[in-house]
């Protein structure tokens, strides 16, 4: 570690800052560690904050430094990220990581076919939004390292997101991270792969080779850190080239779980603007649904950006559902409920699905390999689709868990 006195800082301060902190480290040559703490929660947590700062100083082998912290009620996972960033800005060559224990409540895994109706975007460097995100019951949360993070704060967001993946309880939501555009996005992987991520969102994906290269890096890191859990990818198509290559991208890896479309960049790329009617993106969206289905993965629609227009959102989801999409991005927690409700099956869809599922179960019970409904044969994908419809109906409380029994009465 360099011994000449230098001063670095990290984090946020100011009247409007909440649940965050500002850390300044001035390296000295003598005098030991001096901590200046101004904290909004001093009387409640002042002592534990001081102990925490001392623990981090010892961990990073800081011997002589003046540490100044302005704390606006930062939770421990945030303070740790800000402190570590300051240390790394002081000593960029440092590779040591101050890792918080993995929250036991976050041990749940994911599956390729999991529901992904609503995915809530959380700006990666705004930890104040993280703690309660899962309470709004999105199917997934997306910790974003890309567009919502200022270029100068990319390093800050990497640490906040890493710490959040380990420490924050997302109440059963699938944990997604949107990395930066490749190849730069590869740099983000070491902050997420060893730390409990479920799905990696790959923005502005244009070619299958990008996914193949990403997968090589993911596999290398999984091996290095001995990660056994599945990690899936969701390429986001946001350009004309990406749309044309959609099927190749969707089928580039067994670990792709969905293909998503981002229309803001796409419409700019084809030289037009988004309209409410959406004629300009009709081709791209149907192409994307087709490519995803051909690769047997989910098709996910773009975000609806007017957070005050709930009726517009509902219409947009119903339209997306009619086109074959199975999910939509959310930029505000209030959109989640409407999205989940709107992706729910209609009563006709439920009735049909019930018949198919019953016929399938009947056939299974009787050891018959072929499922038939009346004179019509039913293929396996149709049965799977019907089971999914029943599942969706149940979680939307449209039918009961024991619908078979109540039916017969």
Partner 1 sequence: MKLTENALGRFVPVEINGEAQIPFQGVNQYRPNGCKAKPPIRSCIDYPEEGNKVVKSLKDALKKAGLRDGMTISTHHHLRNGDDLTNILFDTIKSMGVKDIRWFPSASFPIHQHLLQYLEDGTIHHIEGSMNGPLGKFTTEGKMKGIGVLRSHGGRYQAVQDGEVHIDIAVIAAPTADPFGNANGVNGKSACGLIGFALADSEYADRVIVVTDNLVPFPCVPWQIQGNNVDYVVQVDSLGDATKIVSGTTEITKSPDRLLIAEYVAQFIEEAGIMKDGFSFQAGSGGTNLAFVLYLKERMKAKGVKARFVRGGSTKYLVELLEEGLTDYILDGQTFDLEGVRSMRENPNHVNTSPFTSYNFHGKGNFASIIDAAVLGATEVDINFNANVVTHSDGYLLHGIGGWQNCLYSKCTILAIPSFRDRIPVIMDEVTTICGPGELIDVIITERGIAINPKRKDLLKALKESSLPIKPIKQIRDEVYEICGGKPAKPVVNKDKVVAVVKWVDGTVLDSVFQVVK
> Could you tell me how many residues of this chain bind partner 1 (CB under 8 A)?
26
387-406: contacts with partner 1 (CB under 8 A) = 397
Largest Cα separation within the chain, whole Å, is 88
Least spacing, CB of residue 236 vs partner 1, in Å:
24
Least spacing, CB of residue 16 vs partner 1, in Å:
12
31-50: contacts with partner 1 (CB under 8 A) = 40-48
> Considering beta carbons, is residue 122 or 353 the nearer one to partner 1?
122
User: Would you report the helix, strand and coil content of the chain in percent, each value rounded to 5?
Assistant: 45, 15, 35
> Considering beta carbons, is residue 44 or 372 the nearer one to partner 1?
44
Question: If we measure between CA atoms, which residue out of 89, 69, 77, 65 comes closest to residue 21?
Answer: 69
**By the 8 A CB rule, do 242 and 208 touch?**
no
List, as one string, the DSSP characters of 290-359: HHHHHTT-EEEEPP---TT-HHHHHHHHHHHHHHT--EEEESSTHHHHHHHHHTSPPHHHHHHHHHHHHH
Least spacing, CB of residue 231 vs partner 1, in Å:
26
156-195: contacts with partner 1 (CB under 8 A) = 169
Least spacing, CB of residue 161 vs partner 1, in Å:
18
- Bond before 196 cis per omega within 30 degrees: no
The reply on whether position 332 binds partner 1 by CB under 8 A is yes
> Considering beta carbons, is residue 39 or 251 the nearer one to partner 1?
39
93-152: contacts with partner 1 (CB under 8 A) = 128, 131-132, 135-136
Order of strands across the sheet that contains 21-27: 7-11, 21-27, 65-71, 33-39
Applying CB under 8 A, which of residues 56, 74, 199, 303 lies at the interface with partner 1? 74
Q: How many CB atoms lie within 10 A of CB 170?
A: 26
Please state at what angle helix 347-365 crosses helix 380-395, rounded to 10 degrees.
120
The reply on whether position 306 binds partner 1 by CB under 8 A is no
The reply on whether position 296 binds partner 1 by CB under 8 A is no
> Considering beta carbons, is residue 247 or 304 the nearer one to partner 1?
304
Least spacing, CB of residue 86 vs partner 1, in Å:
19
- Dihedral angle sign, alpha carbons of residues 247, 249, 255, 259: negative
* Region binding partner 1 by CB under 8 A among candidate stretches 72-80, 191-199, 245-253, 277-285: 72-80
Question: What is the Cα 312 distance to its own chain's centre?
Answer: 24
Applying CB under 8 A, which of residues 334, 376, 391, 400 lies at the interface with partner 1? 334
CA–CA separation, 359 and 380 (whole Å) = 12
Least spacing, CB of residue 164 vs partner 1, in Å:
12
Helix runs in 5-138, H state only = 42-59, 76-90
Least spacing, CB of residue 19 vs partner 1, in Å:
5
> Considering beta carbons, is residue 137 or 280 the nearer one to partner 1?
137
Least spacing, CB of residue 105 vs partner 1, in Å:
9
C-alpha distance across the termini of the chain, in Å: 76
The reply on whether position 325 binds partner 1 by CB under 8 A is no
> Considering beta carbons, is residue 105 or 384 the nearer one to partner 1?
105
The reply on whether position 209 binds partner 1 by CB under 8 A is no
> Considering beta carbons, is residue 391 or 400 the nearer one to partner 1?
400
Please state at what angle helix 310-323 crosses helix 279-294, rounded to 10 degrees.
50
**Which residues of this protein are in contact with partner 1, per CB under 8 A?**
18-19, 40-48, 72-76, 128, 131-132, 135-136, 169, 332-334, 397
């Amino acid at each position: 570690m360099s011994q000449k006195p230098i001063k670095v800082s990290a984090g946020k301060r100011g009247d409007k800052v909440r649940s965050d902190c500002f850390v300044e480290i001035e390296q000295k040559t003598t005098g030991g560690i001096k901590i200046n703490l101004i904290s909004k929660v001093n009387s409640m947590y002042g002592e534990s904050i001081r102990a925490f700062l001392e623990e981090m100083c010892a961990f990073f082998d800081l011997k002589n430094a003046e540490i100044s912290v302005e704390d606006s009620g930062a939770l421990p996972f945030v303070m740790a990220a800000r402190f570590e960033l300051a240390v790394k800005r002081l000593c960029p060559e440092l590779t040591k990581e101050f890792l918080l224990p993995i929250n036991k409540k976050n041990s749940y895994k994911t599956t390729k076919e999991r529901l992904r109706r609503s995915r809530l975007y959380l700006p990666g460097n705004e930890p104040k939004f993280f703690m309660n995100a899962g309470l709004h019951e999105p199917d997934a949360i997306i910790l974003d390292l890309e567009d919502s993070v200022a270029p100068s704060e990319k390093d800050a967001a990497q640490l906040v997101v890493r710490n959040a993946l380990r420490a924050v309880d997302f109440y059963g939501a699938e944990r997604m991270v949107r990395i930066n555009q490749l190849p730069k996005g590869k740099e983000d992987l070491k902050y997420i792969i060893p730390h409990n991520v479920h799905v990696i969102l790959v923005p502005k994906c244009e070619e299958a080779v990008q996914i193949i290269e990403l997968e090589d890096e993911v596999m290398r890191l999984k091996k290095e850190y001995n990660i056994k859990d599945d990690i899936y990818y969701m390429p986001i198509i946001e350009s004309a080239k990406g749309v044309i290559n959609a099927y190749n991208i969707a089928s580039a890896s067994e670990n792709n779980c969905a293909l998503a479309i981002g229309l803001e960049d796409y419409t700019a790329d084809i030289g037009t603007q988004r309209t409410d009617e959406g004629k300009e993106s009709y081709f791209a969206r149907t192409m994307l649904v087709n490519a995803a289905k051909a690769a047997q993965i989910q098709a996910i629609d773009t975000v609806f950006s007017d957070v005050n227009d709930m009726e517009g959102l509902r219409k947009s989801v119903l339209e997306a559902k009619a086109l074959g999409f199975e999910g939509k991005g959310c930029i505000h927690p209030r959109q989640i409920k409407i999205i989940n409700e709107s992706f729910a099956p209609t009563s006709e869809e439920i009735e049909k699905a019930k018949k198919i599922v019953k016929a399938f179960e009947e056939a299974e019970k009787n050891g018959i390999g072929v499922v038939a409904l009346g004179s019509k044969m039913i293929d396996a994908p149709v049965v799977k689709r019907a089971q999914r419809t029943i599942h969706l109906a149940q979680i939307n409380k449209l039918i009961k868990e024991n619908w078979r029994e109540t039916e017969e009465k």
